[in-house]
Structure formats: structure tokens, C-alpha cells
Amino acid sequence: MGRYVIRRLLQMIPVFFGATLLIFLMVNVMGDPIAGLCGERQCDPATAAQLRKEFGLDKPVWQQYLTYMGNVFTGDFGTAFNGQEVTELMAEAFPVTIRLTIVAIVFEIVIGITLGVITGLRRGRPVDTGVLLLTLVVISVPTFVTGLILQLLLGVDWGVIKPAVSPEAPFNELLIPGLVLASVSLAYVTRLTRTSIAENARSDYVRTAKAKGLPRRRVISRHLLRNSLIPVVTFIGTDIGALMGGAIVTERIFNIHGVGYQLYQGILRQNTQTVVGFVTVLVIVFLVANLLVDLLYAVLDPRIRYA
Amino acid sequence: MRGAAHARWAACAVAVALTATACGGGGSGGGGADGIVSSSWGDPQNPLEPANTNEVQGGKVLDMLFRGLKQYDPKTGEAKDMLAEEIDTTDSTNFTVTVKDGWTFSDGEKVTAKSFVDAWNYGANLKNNQKNAYFFGYIEGYDQVHPEQGRPTAETLSGLKVVDAKTFTVKLSQKFSTWPDTLGYAAFSPLPSAFFSNHAAWLSKPVGNGPYVVESYAKGSKMSMRKWDGYPGSDKAQNGGVDLNVYTDNNTAYTDLTAGNLDLVDDVPASQLKNVQADLAGRYINTPAGIIQTIAFPFYDKAWNTPGGAKVRTGLSMAINRQQITDTIFHKTRTPAKDWTSPVLGVDGGFDDSLCGDSCEYNAAEAKKLITEGGGIPGGRLKLSYNADSGSHKEWVDAVCNSINNVLGNDRACVGNPVGTFADFRNQIGQHKMPGPFRAGWQMDYPLIQNFLQPLYYTNASSNDGKWSNPEFDKLVDDANAESDNKKAVETFQKAEGVVRDQMAAIPLWYQNGSAGYSDRVSNVSLNPFSVPVYNEIKVN
């Protein structure tokens, strides 16, 4: 187990460098960011040169990358064009997005798995068909449509929620945005759980458990569900990374000052430091989440062992 | 595991309970003179220093925090004395500025001649990376503190001299009779000594001499400003303060306004313009601002710089059905352009709605004739470049191209050429890589006809992106700047503008309006000629 974890951690190193290098190059390809700082006019050449020097943009790209990575390892993610430290931006944005992600994941787990178990056990019944149809609708409607409609109905017409989340973004204000963000994944979780449950319900160990005379509740929770959760856990694990970085649409609709918003603004202003910094952290989150998922397999299914 | 999970749920429940009560306590607050106005905001692009802020979001804050020697009247745009007791000159080059008594910064420090001179020296110095440094370019000694290349050889502008606590003198490097009228721009604001002694602290909580003081500033999300009771000026705040909230999207801000959680949105999204009357029941303003949109040409490209080029450009101008586009796409938040300035200047300031004349009127037959006579569109195809990331430019560019294509009877004569980001767009312009004409917008810095002409069309001027050059125009501008009689100066500038028209250096499209929507909690809302809300005059009901 320990060796497996170490091997996986070592594998992360090249992935980490590769990913950051790619992002660094991509942002660089977009061209000189200084030109966008002076509005609809030409920056005066002297100030532009001075700024380029200050942000290290006058050096070749490989040198910029090396300096940047060197700084990252000392905890310095650079400075955004508005004079804020990128670490400061991260300290503001990540807690908000983590809260949003927690809300979304809780929705996925609670609603998704519950619906999945119910439909999986009642295959072909009206409730199964109903939920399947519902998930189909949710999957086919884009997030921004769901988001804007809920915002308009609940926020403006019925006045149940505030349409815009305050900068502090406490949990209670994130419920609806979290639901919107989770909606599509939630539908997938339902479908995955349903299939998995339906498949395992006919397996030998479930029949044995039933034959032993175990109560139905125990059969479902201990034997059936536990074994059926492996694909679901994989999905949710990878979804953590996707939810954290991919909430741009939801965050913009509901005025959430999280990672997605910072990335969006960073890209618009071609702020290499912000974009690379945030993506680097996201890459790490993604890698760690994946590792945790793999380790969870062993917990869920005793047959899986990591030597 | 189990214990930890419980603990987390408990923590969430507490967080929910706490914030729920916290939210209940906030909200609308009191009315009358103490009421707080909540307004939409965007994250300023640059640090909030007066000489470093060149966009409207940071400009809003400076407008509330600072008062300079001159102040532009929110209605007429006229430059009126604010801190200036008088600005005297006999030769349009040497100015003596006397500062009024009784003004202080909100931290108690007196505003003196030194407050101005130090601030201007800071703004001009290359070392400080101030993006508005070129505003000080007319002052003598600018070349030494802000050389084109290399390090500055002087720390301060040689043209600025403090005489006594109230007086300083300014020597310009050229004649510029209307120079005092430029001093209402935020870059010319005075700065307290705290700005220089503890710069980082000042940036996190700016201190100025305007009608408001900063109560708290959370970068990137919210700035709370409160009325400064000790403000010595006549334009005291009519409300208790202003909360500026950063919104991720102007659509969200608008939705928040319709839901009653926000008092003022000063950037109504284009997609909502058709609902605005129904949503806000008349609480919507749409007034001219000092912004003109044009199509600029790459004169550095030989194909566009031909003897017959003026005819082609004039023909293209006449091929654009401005009225139709402003009505249908912009819902009348733009007005078809009739000259190269802006209606906010007023007739006395140099605005002339007959200057462009027929050249700006839609006339399909004449347009086609002129384009053919001038040798047709260079390369047979017009690629109109724009940045696709903001401002719904795609819609109008497509409409303009459509209009041109219809006139020429050729579906492929004009196409839009989107550029991903604004920074990249500016970059391609700067490097002279534009494959054809491109969109250009100009927001005035100060309400003078000079500001609509010299920076844009003078040879090698700072914003002459197309590198248009015309000796006759240059000479007329020089003459106008040297003219001490204001009326004659304006007339000479208009003659110069006539040269721009005859050569069609850029196609004027439309004047942009400022738009804002507000809630029923507030009244007396207006926009100044810079399309910034006049915050200090807003009343809370």
C-alpha cells in the first residue's frame, strides 16, 4: 500500500510539470498582455517596456517558465496586473469554490445515489421510467439555461433566494448554485448507480445474503450498495476536479467570486500569473482526488489490494 | 471517520445559522441623508492610483475620492474651478496656479501646492509605471523623467515649481491655451504625503480629498465608501455612502437590480435593453457620453494608402446604414455620428452635427459609385477586425458588413474578423498586423474638441493606431493649440476636423450613450459626460 502511494506520488511529478508547461505556453501564445492594459490606446512604449521588465515578459519563454516554477516552489505565485498577489487571490477564491463544490458533491451523493438505488431496485416500474426521463431532461439542458431559469424564478419572481451571491458566499447562499452545478453530474450518478445496482442485484453474493435470512435493509446497504459504488466513486472523484475548475458558467451567473471567475478574468486580461497559478493548483487537486479514488477502491472492495 | 463527518455537518449548520442572521440584519438600511446606495462595479484593471487608472471602473472610485484643480460639470461638461483659485497665463505656455484655502485630505493633511506638484511628478516618472503618464507630456522636462528609451535622467519635472504653500508655476513645452481645462482629469489629482510614505497601506485603503472616504475595501469584491462630514467643497454627498459591489457579469447585476437587491447598475447589458422599460418602469437613463465609435484604417498598409483611397473610404462610410443599426441592434443607446467629436461638447465646444454631412448619410448608389471610382476595396475584400470578448461587437460588425455587402451587391465584400481577447486585439494593432480596417472606440479624457482630434489623428500621436498622417491637419492643430482665444481655437480645430472628413481618416459610426438603471429606493440619478454616475447627488428615499 505504502509503496503504491509513493509510486503514484512520483508519477504526479511529470504530469504536474507537463500540465503547467502546457498552460504556460498556451497563455503565452495569446500574445503580449501589456497591450490590453492601456484601454483603447497605445501604451506609451517606455511604460510598456518597464512593465514588461517588471513582469519578466522581456525574457524568452523558457526562461520565464523556469523562473516561474522556481518561484512557485518557494510559494510565490507572482502578482496579477492589478497589483494583487496571486496567492491572495487564491486565498479568496478557493474557499468559496470549495464550499460550492462541497454543496454540489453532497447533492450528487445524497440525491444521486438515493435515486439510483430506488430506480435500480424498481427496474421497469413507473418510478424508474419517471426518474430516467427526468435525468435525460437534466442532461440535455445546458447548465446556463437551468441556472438562469432558476435564478429568475426563485430569485426575482418568487423572491426565495438572492439572485446574486454575496462576496462572502456562505453555504446557505450556495445551495441553489450548488444544485445547478451538480445537476448534470447528479443525473449521471443516478444512472450509474441504477445500472450498477440492477446488475449486482442478481449476483450470487446477494442471493447468498438473502438466503442467510439477512434483513433486506442490511442486504442492500452492506452487500449490494457497497459493491455497486465503485464506478460511482470513480465518477464523483474525478468530478471534484471538474467541478472546481469548471464552474465558470455557474459562478458567472450567480456572481460567485471563485476559481472559475478568477480564471475567466485572468484569461480575458491575459494574466499569465493568475491563470497558470490557478491551473497548477487545480492540476494538483485533480491528481490527489484521483489517488484518493483509487485508494477508496480497496476500502470498498476487499478483493482489490495494492501491493 | 464517523465523528469527523458529524463535526462537519455541525459546522455547516452553524455557518448557515450565523450567516442567515447576518443576512437578515443587512439589506436596505435607513433612508434619507444617511441611506447607503449600493451600486454595481467591475474589478479595476490597475492599482487604484490616480495617474494609473485609465478605465471607467477605477475612474468611478477616483471620482468619489478626489477633487482636482478643475471639476467637469456633471451636466454640461464645462471645466469649472474646484481647488483652483485661479490659473493665470499670458503666453499660453507659462501658467501660475493658485490653490484655494481650506481644503484638506480626509486624514487631516492640508492640500497645498506641494500636494499637486508631488503627485504630478510621481505620475510622470517612468519608474512608477503610471499608465497615464503621458498626460504630463505637455509639461517641460517630461522627456527627462519619462524618456522613450533608457532610464530617466531626472526625478522631477523641470517645468513644475512650488512658489509658496498656495502657489505653483507650470511651464509647458509647447503652447496649449486650453491646458487648464484638462486639469479636471483624475490623473491631475493632488496626493497626500501618506501616499508616498506608506504606499501599500494607501493602496489598500486610499485617502483623498473628495466627498467620500473609504470605509473598507476588499479587493476584487467590494468597496464601501461613506460620506465625509468634514468635506469642504460645495458638492457634498447627498447620501450616507456608496457600496460598490463587484459583479462577475453585468447580466447578474441587472437581475439583482430587478430583484431589489441593488440600487444602481450603470452598465445595462445589451441583451436586456428591450426589457428595460418594462422591468424598471422608467427608472432608466440613457444620455449621451463622450464616446465615439469609428472604423480606423491601416494606413501603414500600402493597399489602403492610395491616392483614390479617400474615395473608397468615403464610399464605405456612405454604405453603412447607421440609423437602422443603432435602432435595431443598440435600441437607441447609440446615435448615428455626424462628426468626429461628441454631442457632450456642445455647439460652443466644437460639436457640429453638419460637419460630416452627406459623407455620413446612407446613400447606396453614391457609395457604390465612389468605391468603384476609388479603385474598389483593396484586395477585393474588407476584413473588419474587432475583439470578440466584450461589448457585443460581433452584432454590429456583422450588421455593418451586411450593409456594405448589400450596397455592393456582393455577399463576400465585407466580413468580420474576430480577435479572441482585447489584449490580443490591441497587440495586433500595436504591431501593425491588422489585415484591414478595425473597430476603434474613443472615450474622451476631458471634454475638449482637442481630445477628440489630436491624440487620434495627429502624426504619430499616442492613439493614432492607423498611422494616418496629414501635414495640413497637423498644422491646423498646432495653430489651434497656440490660439489664446477659445472661440477661435475651436473654429481652427473644426477646420482640422474638416481635413479628417475630406480624407475620411476614420469612418465615424455612432456616439455612444451612457445607460443606467436604478431601484425605487434612490432618486436624482444621473450620468456625467464620462458615463459615470454622479454618485454624490444621488438621494436615498
User: Which candidate from B55, B127, B203 shows the least CB-CB separation from A39?
Assistant: B55
* Domains of chain A as residue ranges with CATH: 86-300 (1.10.3720.10)
List, for residues B295-313, the tens digit of each pLDDT value.
999 999 888 888 888 999 9
Supply the pLDDT for residue A220: 87
Residues A86, A77: contact at Cβ < 8 Å? yes
Among A266, A229, A271, smallest CA distance to A248 is for A266
Our measurement of the distance from residue A47's CA atom to the centroid of its chain's CA atoms, rounded to an integer in Å, reads 39
Residues A77, A90: contact at Cβ < 8 Å? yes
Predicted complex: ipTM over 0.85:
no
Q: Best residue in A43, A166, A253, A255 to probe B by mutation, most B CBs within 10 Å?
A: A255
User: Which candidate from B15, B43, B462 shows the least CB-CB separation from A171?
Assistant: B15
Contacts of A264 in chain B (CB under 8 A): 248
Contact A261 B455 (CB under 8 A): no
pLDDT of residue B87 exceeding 70, the answer is: yes
Supply the pLDDT for residue B228: 93
- Least confident range from A106-115, B268-277, B378-387: namely B268-277
Work out the minimum CA distance from B251 to partner chain A, whole angstroms.
8
Does the pTM surpass 0.90? The reply is: no
Quote the CA–CA distance of B48 and A82 in Å, as a whole number: 8
Cβ-Cβ contacts under 8 Å for B212 (sequence gap 6 or more):
B64, B65, B225, B226, B227, B228, B237, B241, B242, B535, B536
Contact A32 B427 (CB under 8 A): yes
Residue of B nearest to A167 (CA): B221
Contact A164 B256 (CB under 8 A): yes
Q: Distance from first CA to last CA of chain B, Å, rounded?
A: 54
List, for residues B118-162, the tens digit of each pLDDT value.
999 999 999 898 888 888 989 999 999 998 888 889 999 999 999
- In percent, the amount of chain A with pLDDT more than 90 equals 19
List, for residues B8-52, the tens digit of each pLDDT value.
343 333 333 333 333 333 334 445 567 899 999 988 888 899 998
Radius of gyration of chain B (CA): 25
Contact A32 B127 (CB under 8 A): no
Contact B131 A37 (CB under 8 A): yes
Residues B298, B434: contact at Cβ < 8 Å? yes
Q: Best residue in B202, B248, B293 to probe A by mutation, most A CBs within 10 Å?
A: B248
Residue of B nearest to A172 (CA): B16
Contact A31 B423 (CB under 8 A): yes
Work out the minimum CA distance from B34 to partner chain A, whole angstroms.
23
Contacts of A41 in chain B (CB under 8 A): 455, 462-463, 465
pLDDT of residue B328 exceeding 80, the answer is: yes
- Coil, strand, or helix at residue A95? helix
Question: Is the CA virtual torsion B302, B304, B309, B312 positive or negative?
Answer: positive
Contact A44 B389 (CB under 8 A): no
**CB pairs below 8 Å between A and B: how many?**
174
